[in-house]
Structure 1
Amino acid sequence: MSAYVIFIREKTTNIEELEIYASKAPSGLAGHSLKPLVMYGTHEVIEGPDVEGAAVLEFPGIEEARAWYYSPAYQDAVKHRLKGGTYRGMIVEGFSKE
């Protein structure tokens, strides 16, 4: 069953750290099966506090999403994202219509 990683950027605090993240994050994709569905595009907050944007990544399942997030290559990048802004992140399992 598909799983989704969702990141919500609440506030940018250090653009230089986010630029470092942007340069390192692609190397964390190697060997992982994922599909970017949403990448900080135009948005409208309809509930809750305002946010700067969101990203949604699709994975074949929860274990694959965890393997990507906790991989050494992505962990090397993510520390810069977390220094660059206030984020919320989660892995959520999809559902079957059957």
Structure 2
Amino acid sequence: MTAYAIAHLQDVDLGPEIVDYIRRIDATLAPFGGRFVIHGSTPEIVEGPWPGNLVVIAFPDMAKARSWYDSPDYQAILPLRTDNSRSVAMLVEGVANDYRAGDFLAKAGFA
């Protein structure tokens, strides 16, 4: 099941350390099959406030996503981002291609 690393970035200081982070992150993704899905685009807000930017990286599965995040190569560059932005980051498992919203209700015992 595809898994995603998602970051909501705010107050980014686009200085030398963030530039270094951006230049180095692709090499950390490759061994884990990670690829950017959303990066650097400005969202069209249709409901509620949204300060900042969204980054979404897809991985083949949650194990690969976790292994990437915990990898020595990524951990070495992580402070370049966390020390120069305010952000929330998470790993989350996606759903199957045939998933329907009602599947959640069945799983939660409401079917």
TM-score where L is the length of structure 1:
0.85
Q: Does 1:81 align with 2:59?
A: no
Higher alpha-carbon deviation: 52-61 or 15-24? 15-24
Structure 1 residue 15 displacement after superposition: 2.3
Partner of 1:15: 15
Give, in whole Å, the separation in 1 of the partners of 2:35 and 2:51.
Answer: 23
Aligned pairs, number: 97
1:14–1:83 contact (8 Å) kept in structure 2: no
Which structure: greater strand fraction? 1
Structure 1 residue 31 displacement after superposition: 1.4
Query: Residues 29-88 of structure 1: CA distance to partner in whole angstroms, max 9, x if unpaired?
Result: 24120221100202133334x322111111111110000111000111111000110011
Partner of 2:5: 5
Q: How high is the sequence identity, in percent, across the aligned residues?
A: 27
Partner of 1:28: 28
Q: Any runs of at least 4 consecutive aligned residues in structure 1 with deviations exceeding 2 A, and if so which? A: 13-17, 44-48
TM-score where L is the length of structure 2:
0.77
Quick check: which has more Rg, 1 or 2? 2
Provide the alpha-carbon RMSD of the alignment.
Answer: 1.7
Partner of 2:103: none
Partner of 1:47: 48
Give, in whole Å, the separation in 2 of the partners of 1:47 and 1:93.
Answer: 25
Q: Give the structure, 1 or 2, with the largest relative contact order (CA under 8 Å, sep 6 or more).
A: 1
1:24–1:76 contact (8 Å) kept in structure 2: no
Give, in whole Å, the separation in 2 of the partners of 1:55 and 1:14.
Answer: 15
